[in-house]
Each structure stands twice: as C-alpha cells, then as structure tokens.
Amino acid sequence: MKISQALSVTLHDYVPRAGDMRSEILGGLSANPKTLPSKYFYDERGSKLFDAICELPEYYLTRTELAIMQASAADMANVLGPRVLLVEPGSGTSAKTRLLLDKLHWPCAYVPVDISREHLITAADRLNRQYPALEVLPVHADFSQRFALPVPRLPAACTVIYFPGSTIGNFEPDAAVALLKQLQQLAGRKGAMLIGVDLNKDRTVLEAAYNDAAGVTAAFNLNLLTRLNRELQGDFNLERFQHRALYNSAEGRIEMHLVSLADQSVHIAGETVRFGAGEPIVTEYSYKHTLPGFTALAAQAGWSVRKIWTDEQRWFSVQYLTAD
C-alpha cells in the first residue's frame, strides 16, 4: 500500500497489479460462457459514462434511491448515531453520500473506496473542500479484495459501511455472501451497514433501464473493450461487437453482454481468443431482490436487517444492517 498526497487529500493506494488484471481477463475469456469482470468498466471514461447513465430517464435506480435518501437521510442518521466512520466501497462521485453527510451527527471521517484512481481523487478533493471539518481519507482499491482502513484522527464510535446503488446486485449469490462477510470484517464487531438493494419489478422497466434509447449504456459496455485494447494490447474491433441486456426471470437478474457479430479472432495480452458469430461475453449481472430474499442472503453473511426504507412503488430499498 502506498500513501501519496493528491490535491487536498491523502490517497491510500492499494491498486491491483497489472498482472492481476491480465490473469482475470484471460481467465474470463477462456471460460464458457466468456466473461469479463464488471469492475473493469470503471476507468476514467467508464466512470464518466456511468455518471451519465445515472441521469438517463430510463435508469430509475439513481433517482429512486436519491428520493429515498432525500426523504429519509435524517432518520438514517439518527439510526446510525454520532461519530461514525463512514466507509463507501465503489464511491464514484459520492453524490448520494452528501445527502447522508449533511444529516450525520459529528461523523469522524469519510473513507471513499474506488478502483478508478483519477475519478476517486477528483471526487475526494471536491468533498474535502465542501466539508472542511470532515476528514476525507480516499482509498484506491478493488473493494472486493481485502484492504485496511486508514486510521482517522478522531476516534469513531462505529464503522458504517455505506454501499448504495445496488452494487451488491452485481455479485452472484455465493460471491455476494462472501463480499458481505468481508465488509462485516471491515466494519468490525460493532459495525453496521447501510446498503442499497434494487427490488424485483416488471421486465419492461428493468430492460429499458439497461438498454437506453440514447445508447449510453451501450457505449459504457463497449468502453470495456477499449480499455482492454489500451491496457492489455488488445485488438478488439468495437464495430464487431454489440451491446445486449436481457432480464433472466428464472435467475432474477439483468444479464449484460457484448455479442460478437461475426466469427473472429482477437489478440489480447499475447494470447488469441476466438469468437463465434452470436457468441456473447457476459460483462455484468444485476440481481433484483425481494425483501425476504435479501434478508436471507444477508443472514448467510452474519448480518441482520434492522430497518428498511423504500419508495412508494417499492422499486428500490435502502436497508440498515447490523452484525448478529
């Protein structure tokens, strides 16, 4: 782990090694079906495209969760109590976090964790200037891997994991349980979690959210190949792949793919990968939970659901969890 001064904040850097990326990418492309880890969406351009997705009319998730936070952040802050150390895996722009920070009672520090280094530094610097009394301690890391929390200047009464945006839906059930266990260890025995969980709903609403008319989600998906070309010496031709997102009702998840439009061979990281016409690469799953289903999932990881806030349509939920 490296510590460096960046703008007005001190960056704690656990960046994955390039070799880790190479082995993960080649391992996924040799599987059946072929896969690519969704965490690699978030280079600088990918992070900006995702921010644009969050503003789209079809993408109900962000505006619905924001509405829940606007209506209930004060109640959430009362539940969490004073002097919390707030840790946000996959923090992005920290837009929802501001709603919570404005209501928290004397938080001791905020720890944004993100895999996109430049995006993280910019967001953390902005927050540090907007909240001069709050210690902001950005961590550059893959939050699905173990890392240590920086120690704040002020002692914390409780470590709270803030995990909004339904990011937990990107993990298959066993992996979701493993991640929730890891986050519990990060929070500690007296820790808590505030987590966004997308709820199951009509197929047409779900599929529209991941197939927007403006094509921003398609650009976001294809940008993953651009990144592989740049960082792993790939020669993917983006015009020979097409974005596709479908709802799998049996599994309760959106499945996002990049579909090969022809028989072709691609070179990447010194290896050759062959594709058949119509063959997909799975780039992301997004599970949609029921309230009882998520309670059961969290229980497998040692968390108990203590309180739930939802919108009127019950499309989305923010849930407060504590360790058993």
Question: What pLDDT was estimated at residue 115?
Answer: 82
pLDDT above 90 as % of the chain:
82
- Are 278 and 244 within 8 A, CB to CB? no
pLDDT, mean of residues 241-251? 97
For the chain, give the secondary structure using H, E and C: CEEEEECCEEEEECCCCHHHHHHHHHHHHCCCCEECCHHHHCCHHHHHHHHHHCCCCCCHHHHHHHHHHHHHHHHHHHHHCCCEEEEEECCCCCHHHHHHHCCCCCCCEEEEEECCHHHHHHHHHHHHHHCCCCEECCEECCCCCCCCCCCCCCCCCEEEEEECCCHHHHCCHHHHHHHHHHHHHHHCCCCEEEEEEEECCCHHHHHHHCCCCCCHHHHHHHHHHHHHHHHCCCCCCHHHEEEEEEEECCCCEEEEEEEECCCEEEEECCEEEEECCCCEEEEEEEECECHHHHHHHHHHCCEEEEEEEECCCCCEEEEEEEEC
- Are 108 and 155 within 8 A, CB to CB? yes
For residue 105 the two structure tokens come to 């009672």
**Predicted confidence band of residue 9 (pLDDT cuts 50, 70, 90):** confident
Residue 288 has pLDDT above 70, yes or no: yes
Task: Output the average pLDDT for the chain.
Answer: 93
Question: What pLDDT was estimated at residue 18?
Answer: 59
Residue 93 has pLDDT above 80, yes or no: no
Question: What pLDDT was estimated at residue 89?
Answer: 94
Question: Scanning the structure block, which residue is given the tokens 């280094």?
Answer: 117
For residue 322 the two structure tokens come to 């504590």
Q: 276-299 b/e with 16+ CB inside 10 Å = b?
A: eeebbbbbbbbbbbebebbbebbe
Residue 94 has pLDDT above 80, yes or no: no
Residue among 206, 119, 191 nearest 149 (CA): 191
Question: What pLDDT was estimated at residue 6?
Answer: 60
Question: What pLDDT was estimated at residue 17?
Answer: 65
pLDDT, mean of residues 279-294? 98
Residue 92 has pLDDT above 80, yes or no: no
- Model pLDDT for residues 128-146, shown as the tens digit of each residue: 999 999 999 999 988 888 8
Query: pTM for the complete prediction?
Result: 0.91
The residue ranking higher by pLDDT, 258 or 16, is 258
Question: Which domains does the chain possess?
Answer: 57-201+288-323 (3.40.50.150)
Residue among 176, 180, 161 nearest 287 (CA): 176
pLDDT, mean of residues 70-78? 98
Question: What pLDDT was estimated at residue 8?
Answer: 74
For residue 122 the two structure tokens come to 């910019």
**Predicted confidence band of residue 30 (pLDDT cuts 50, 70, 90):** very high
Residue 247 has pLDDT above 90, yes or no: yes
Question: What pLDDT was estimated at residue 11?
Answer: 85
Residue 263 has pLDDT above 90, yes or no: yes
Residue 321 has pLDDT above 70, yes or no: yes
Spatial distance between the Cα atoms of 286 and 170, rounded to a whole number of angstroms: 5
- Model pLDDT for residues 164-208, shown as the tens digit of each residue: 999 999 999 999 999 999 999 999 988 999 999 999 999 999 999
